[in-house]
A = this chain, B = another copy of it.
Amino acid sequence: MIKIGVVGGTGYTGVELLRLLAQHAQVELIAITSRGEAGMPVSQMFPSLRGRVDIPFTDPAKSPLTDCDLVFFATPNGIAMGQAQALLDAGVRVIDLAADFRLKDIAVWEKWYGMSHVSPALVAEAVYGLPEVNRAQIRNARLVANPGCYPTATQLGLLPLVESGCVDIGHLIADTKSGVSGAGRKAEVGSLFAEAADNFKAYGVPGHRHLPEISERLGIAAGKPVGLTFVPHLTPLIRGIHATLYARITRDEDFQRLFEQRYADEPFVDVLPPGAHPETRSVRAANICRIAIHRPQGGDTLVVLSVIDNLVKGASGQAVQNMNIMMGLDEKQGLDQIPVLP
């Protein structure tokens, strides 16, 4: 059994990671840390885990993290960058679900995240954990930066276009919508039920942290800088991201076939038949991205629809997928849950 630790298990990506790991046949969870909740049984905070996760939260300082084969950081931004090196030095591999190692450009990172980066060397080493792009490097990585939720849905929807160079990459548009769990299990007025239910709004239009992440990765895929207008919205879902992506066609293609070929061997990307409209609930609680391609009225604007569960393919499921790749397991191990519909 592979020994696993989780740093910071009290948020939504934490509890989702526990749900997935507890159903994974080849791992053993040996530590879940929480400074604030040390001593409390995990299943007391999350009764959904009663009988399935039997250990308590432990203080990070007293937790056997260096005995683990792999440690997940399900912490706020800025934590993993201070703690990863020690674990790596102890031979533990690390997957960070936060943003600490997602951007290669440290100056850009520091500007958007408002802090100084304390581990620039690890930024250079870290592999961006989007398996559909970096599977080979993930396999051998010591440190994986798990992608953001919007970036996962957006990149998977745009990659075939950007890689093949058939659209104007200077003017991409990503109109994205997220459920409220994307804001985390933090007590904030804007995430209250009475604020977010029966309400829809855009936010962060002047700039959102996922913009530089998407731009950098798409730029790498294209081999040159891309221009992206990124508009996130908050919608009254618990889980789910829907990305509606617009690109101006510069070279005609069989776009449906382009996507089908690009993802033919991908176990967690499902290209829907022509004319389809993926629903977020069709991926609820499962590690899958479903995509549909439209060319309305045969014009020169392509519309790509891409949906994921932000807590699964957009966070914890993708982290388990990366773990499977790193540990040489079947990539689908522990990730075969069927979406919950209705």
Contact = CB atoms under 8 A, between A and B. Distances in A.
A88 interface: no
Contacts of A203: 277
Interface in A238-282: 238-240, 242, 244, 246, 248, 270, 272, 275-282
Interface in A190-239: 191-203, 205-207, 227, 229-231, 233, 235-239
A336 interface: yes
A270 B50 contact: yes
Contact of A175 (B46, B244, B337): B244
A280 B199 contact: yes
Interface stretch (A75-83, A144-152, A292-300): A292-300
Contact of A194 (B191, B280, B303): B191
B205 A171 contact: no
A175 to B, nearest CB: 4
A342 B307 CA distance: 18
Interface string A14-55: 010001001100000000000000000000001111111000
Contacts of A233: 177, 242, 244
A342 B194 contact: yes
Contacts of A49: 338
Copies of this subunit: 4
User: Which of A23, A201, A338 neighbours the largest number of chain B CB atoms within 10 Å of its CB?
Assistant: A338
A206 B275 CA distance: 7
A19 to B, nearest CB: 5
Interface in A107-165: none
Contacts of A275: 206
Nearest to A20: B338
Contact of A197 (B175, B177, B198, B282): B198
A308 to B, nearest CB: 12
Given A181-B194, A205-B294, A272-B47, A240 B342 contact: no
A259 to B, nearest CB: 15
Contact of A235 (B15, B200, B296, B339): B200
A322 B201 CA distance: 28
Interface of A: 12, 15, 19, 22-23, 46-52, 171, 173, 175, 177, 179-181, 183, 185-189, 191-203, 205-207, 227, 229-231, 233, 235-240, 242, 244, 246, 248, 270, 272, 275-286, 290, 294, 296-297, 299-301, 303, 305, 307, 311, 336-342
